[in-house]
Every structure is written in C-alpha cells, then in structure tokens.
Amino acid sequence: MFWAVQGMAAELSTGALVMSYIQSSGKNVSMLVANNKASFSKKAKGRIYFECHDGLAIKKAIDETLETGEGRTCWMHATGKDKDGNVVSEFDFEWTVKAR
C-alpha cells in the first residue's frame, strides 16, 4: 500500500478525535496539522487498521485553548496494523488548536 494512503488514514485516526472533542465542546475551535513524522516497518498488504489512543491529550489541549484563548499544540500517535496485528507503520501528527 502506497505510503500516502497510509498517511491519510493515519491522519484521519487522529483528526477524528480532534473533531469529536471540538464538536462536544460546542465551541468554535480551529484545527490544523503543523508537523508530522512517519516510519514504516513492514510492507503493507491488504487492509491496514490505524489506531490512536491520545484522545485525552487532545481534549486537554482543546480545554486549555477554550480557557485561555491561546493556541495549543498536541502530538498524537497513530499505529497501522495489518490483519494479523503486525505493525506496518507509525505516524505522529502535531495538531494545533485555537479558540476562535
């Protein structure tokens, strides 16, 4: 599987959490990826599943920007695994959030 496709799926796994917490806040918050890093450890074949477990970290950043009005950043990690559970790639995205 081409690396760009994995990158988009990995970003979605982190971005969905960002969007979910923004929506649940009921406030107007901007979001943007400022940086990213990736590593590939195995050829990706078939369906690849991406997971991100950094929801509490981005929730904290969103809460802080809503409280202070200042922008915040948060690194979020996504892991891509094949059907057998083997890690094929890992991505890190630095999300920026700011209350509008």
Task: Kindly list the structural domains of the chain, giving each domain's residue range(s) and its CATH number in brackets, ordered by start.
Answer: 3-99 (3.10.129.10)
Average pLDDT for residues 66-78, to the nearest whole number?
A: 98
Structure confidence at residue 16 (pLDDT): 98
In tens, the pLDDT along 16-60 reads 999 999 999 999 999 999 999 999 999 999 999 999 999 999 999
Structure confidence at residue 2 (pLDDT): 78
- Using alpha carbons, list the distances in angstroms from residue 10 to 3, 37, 46, 54, 100: 10, 11, 16, 13, 26
- Using alpha carbons, list the distances in angstroms from residue 70 to 37, 74, 75, 91, 95: 25, 13, 17, 26, 14
Residue 44 CA to residue 11 CA, distance in Å, equals: 17
Residue carrying structure tokens 């409280």: 67
Question: Given pLDDT bands bounded at 50, 70 and 90, which one contains residue 3?
Answer: confident
Is 70 exceeded by the pLDDT of residue 1?
no
